[in-house]
Amino acid sequence: MAGMGEQGARMTARSRPKFPLQLDRLSGRAAVSAKTVLRPQRDLAAAHADAGRRSAPAGLGLDSADVRRRMSERLRDGGISQPLVLEAFANVPRHLFVDPALATQAYEDTSLPIGHEQTISKPSVVARMLEMLFDGANARQKGNLGTVLEIGTGCGYQAALLSELAVSVISMERLKPLHDKARSLLAPMRSNRLRLVHGDGMIGHAPGAPYDSVIAAASSDSMPQAWLEQLAVGGRLVAPVEQGDRGQALVVVDRREDGYARHVYESVRFVPLKSGLAG
């Protein structure tokens, strides 16, 4: 909620005309011409370069664009076809969001601990969820994820990806130390599209509603009502939800003029959604 220790990460964007050009190179076809092309953000890798030199083990080549490009290609080989999602993975340096001791594993398809018993999600699952969001009615029409609510900022990696793909992102985290960590890790991005909120994501963030896209990085027993209420008509929500004996599965909800349509997809494993704030 507004006033709950909300932290603005709004900063001036310094843009370079790079995003659509890279898209061309990746997809081999014209950039999303008929759709809204998002204003390019600051070059993330360059923005993080200093921080990277300070925190990542030297000489491992993790700062190289090739490493990220290869991860993006593996995601494509694994079935992700949305070019903007693949491009975001090629842009955001994942190793800078994990502990330096784990940085060498950052481009493997694995979840990794980020402290406080939480994990940065597996790239293939994040990519799958982002691609699902792109299939929402509003996202298809806009050519981007529109206004986004993310529940579970964690270390901020997925928030960085989202800010490449959306007009605006509100990302909520209940654990103050992780919220603060994400704020400092995301600072070099200087994204004017991303706002981090220290708050209980179970109640969503009404001041920013309605959202075209809602994504949760923590699994709930039943989907919080607030998320459904704050979803725009034409909007899509993707979240892991407990399914009884089957365990967790990805659930997609589309809000239509006449109600909600809900579909259950593959099994996943996320940390639990918890209520309330924690210092």
Does position 157 interact with ligand SAH (CB under 6 A)? The reply is: yes
Shorter beta-carbon distance to ligand SAH: residue 26 or 126? 126
Site for ligand SAH in 42-101 (CB under 6 A): none
Query: Least distance from C-beta 212 to ligand SAH, angstroms?
Result: 18
Q: What is the dihedral of CA 188, 160, 169, 124, to 10 degrees?
A: 180
Query: Least distance from C-beta 24 to ligand SAH, angstroms?
Result: 28
Does position 19 interact with ligand SAH (CB under 6 A)? The reply is: no
Cis peptide before 17 (omega within 30 of 0): no
- How far is the C-alpha of 262 from the C-alpha of 59, rounded, in Å? 47
Does position 204 interact with ligand SAH (CB under 6 A)? The reply is: no
Alpha helices in 3-151 (DSSP H): 19-27, 44-55, 65-77, 83-91, 123-134, 137-142
- Identity of the residue numbered 110: T
Site for ligand SAH in 118-147 (CB under 6 A): 118-121
Which two structure tokens, joined as six digits, stand for 32?
A: 């999303």
Tell me which of 72, 121, 191, 219 is the catalytic residue.
Answer: 121
Between 211 and 250, how does the x/- string for binding to ligand SAH read (CB under 6 A)?
Answer: ------xx--------------------------------
For ligand SAH, the binding residue among 174, 181, 193, 236 (CB under 6 A) is 174
Does position 155 interact with ligand SAH (CB under 6 A)? The reply is: yes
The CA–CA distances, whole Å, from 241 to 107, 145, 208 equal: 27, 22, 23
Which listed range, 59-67, 74-82, 140-148, 153-161, lies at the site for ligand SAH (CB under 6 A)?
153-161
Which listed range, 21-29, 85-93, 113-121, 261-269, lies at the site for ligand SAH (CB under 6 A)?
113-121
- How far is the C-alpha of 53 from the C-alpha of 50, rounded, in Å? 5
Which two structure tokens, joined as six digits, stand for 139?
A: 């996202």
Q: What is the dihedral of CA 122, 124, 130, 136, to 10 degrees?
A: -130
Residues forming the active site: 121
